[in-house]
Amino acid sequence: MRVGSFLKISLASTDEEYSQTFVRDHINRLPGEVFPVLGGWPDWRHKGQLILPKRYRLGLRFSKKFPSWVAERIRKAGEDHLASFINRTDVTLAEFGPVGVSLLRPCQIAKVPLVVHFHGFDVYDRRILDRYQREYQELFRSAAAFVVVSKAMSEQVARLGAPREKIHVNSCGVDVLRFDAADAGSNPPHFLAIGRFVEKKAQFLAILAFERAFRQCPDIRLSLVGDGPLLDCCKQIVRALRLENAVEFLGVVSHNRVPALMQRCRGFVQHSVTAPSGDSEGNPVAVMEAGAAALPVVSTKHAGIPDTVAHGETGLLSEEADIDSMANHMVLLARDTNLASELGKQARVRIQNFFSMERSIQGLYGVLETAVKGEDLATHPQASEIKSWKPNSEQYGHLAER
C-alpha cells in the first residue's frame, strides 16, 4: 500500500484552477503524490486534460433525452472510467460535500476510501442541503471520514446525520512565516477588512458599525478589500453616510499583497453573520492571517471564529448584527494603543500554536492516512487542544462592556 498518493478535487466548475487558497495549499503541501482533479461531473480535468472521453461526457450531458435504462448505463460507464483514474491512488480527498457526492460511487467501484472535506456553505446553505439531502445520507453512511474546520461545523455535520466517530476537526492553516509581526498599537487607527462582498461576510454591517465608531473617533479609517455582488450596495451605504473620506474600497488584491496591507493597520474587522439562506462561514482564513500578522481581530461570535479569536485575549467579539458592540470595540482599540499591541501579540502566538499551516497539513494527512489503514480516529487532537484554550475572563472579561 502506498500511503501518500492523494486525489485532490476542487469544487470549481470553471478552468480557474486553485481559486480557493486552501485547495491550493492542500495540493502543494500534502505529503506524497497529489493528483489534482478540477471541474465538475462529468467535466473533470487533470492537468488541464479531460478525464472522461467525449462520448461519455456528451452522453451524460444529454442523458435526459434517452430512456432511463440507457441513461443509467451511460452514467455507470462514466463512473467506471473515472474509477479507473481513481484506482491509481490510495485515498480520495473531496473538497466540499457536493464533490464528495459525485465521487462516492467511483470510489466504491475503485475500492478507494473517500474523505470529504466540508468548508461551510456545503453544510449550512439550505439550498445545498435541500438539493443533496438524500445523497448526503448515503455519503454519511459510506465515506470513510469527514473533515470540518470548526467545532461548530462538527456539530452541524453531526446534526445532518454524519456519525460522530467519522467527523474530524481540522482547521485550515496559515503560513505564519509570510507575515511579519506588526506592532498594532504603533500603527494609525486604521482598520482592514478582507473578503468577498456576500451576505455572510456582511461588510455592510461592518460599515454601519464603523460609522458609529467614527462619530466618537473622527481619525479612524477603514479599508475594504474584495469584490462580490454586494460591493455596489456597500459603496452606496458609504456615500449615504458621507464616509467617502474615511472608507476606501481597494478592490481585489493579490494574496501576496495582504501581509503588507496588514502591517499598516491597527486591527482587522469582519462582521460575519448567518445569511438568510443559512449559509455560514467555516473558519475564515483572513481572520487567521490577521492574527498571524499580530493584529487584534474585531469580529463576531459566528461559526468557527470563536475557535480562532479568544475574546478579550487575542481580539474582541460581538454577537451577530450587534453593530453597537462592534463600534465600541473599534473605539476601544483606536484609543488604547497598549491594548491593541497586547491583543495583537497574543493573536500571533495563538495562530502559531493552533493554526499554523504545518499543523493543519499534518492533521489532514493524519485523517487521510487513517482512512487508508481503515482505522478509527475518534477524536482529532487539534479539536481537544482548541477546546482547552480559554480567555482569561478575570483579566479580560470586562472589555465587552467597555
Please report the pLDDT score of residue 45 as a whole number: 86
pLDDT at 41 over 70: yes
In a domain, 371, yes or no: no
Do 181 and 64 reside in the same domain of the chain? no
pLDDT in tens, 98-131: 999 999 999 999 999 999 999 999 999 999 999 9
Which phi and psi angles does 270 have, rounded to 5°?
Answer: -150, 115
pLDDT tier for residue 374 given thresholds of 50, 70 and 90: confident
Per-residue pLDDT at 361: 93
Q: What is the C-alpha to C-alpha distance for residues 218 and 220, in angstroms, rounded to an integer?
A: 6
Task: Report the SS3 class of residue 117.
Answer: strand
Nearest 10 degrees: Cα torsion 314, 273, 394, 262: 20
281 in the same domain as 318: yes
Per-residue confidence band for 294, with pLDDT thresholds at 50, 70 and 90? very high
Q: What confidence tens digit (pLDDT) does each residue in 44-60 have?
A: 888 888 888 888 788 77
Q: If you write DSSP's letter for every residue of 276-341 in order, what string do you get?
A: TT----SS-HHHHHHHHTT--EEEES-TTHHHH--BTTTEEEE-TT-HHHHHHHHHHHHH-HHHHH
Residues 145 and 86 in one domain: yes
Range of the domain at 266: 176-352+390-401
CATH code for the domain in which residue 151 is found: 3.40.50.2000
Tell me the average pLDDT of the chain. 87
Last residue of a domain, one of 169, 189, 223: 169
- Residue with the larger pLDDT of the pair 207 and 33: 207
198 and 310 assigned to the same domain: yes
Quick one: cell of 271? Answer: 462582521
Q: Which of 24-38, 146-160, 282-296 has the least mean pLDDT?
A: 24-38
Whether residues 114 and 209 share a domain: the answer is no
Residue 179, helix vs strand vs coil: coil
Do you find a cis peptide bond into 42, omega within 30 degrees of 0?
Answer: yes
User: In sequence order, which residues have a C-beta less than 8 Å from that of residue 259 and are 6 or more positions away?
Assistant: 178, 179, 180, 289, 293
- pLDDT tens track for 61-85: 777 777 887 777 877 888 898 899 8
Instruction: Determine, yes or no, domain membership for 381.
Output: no
Residue 265 has pLDDT above 50, yes or no: yes
β partners of residue 317: 299
Q: Which of 86-90, 264-268, 393-397 has the lowest mean pLDDT?
A: 393-397
Can you give the pTM of this predicted structure?
Answer: 0.85
Please indicate, yes or no, whether residues 260 and 316 belong to a single structural domain of this protein.
yes
Rounded Cα distance, 51 and 74, in Å? 15
Instruction: Identify the domain boundary among 169, 192, 214.
Output: 169
Share of the chain above pLDDT 70, in %: 88
Decide if pLDDT at 302 tops 60. yes
Q: Mean pLDDT, to the nearest integer, of 301-313?
A: 96
Domain count, the chain: 2
Domain boundary among 146, 169, 192: 169
The answer for residues whose C-beta is within 8 angstroms of residue 283's C-beta and 6 or more apart is: 149, 150, 153, 171, 172, 303, 304, 305, 307, 308
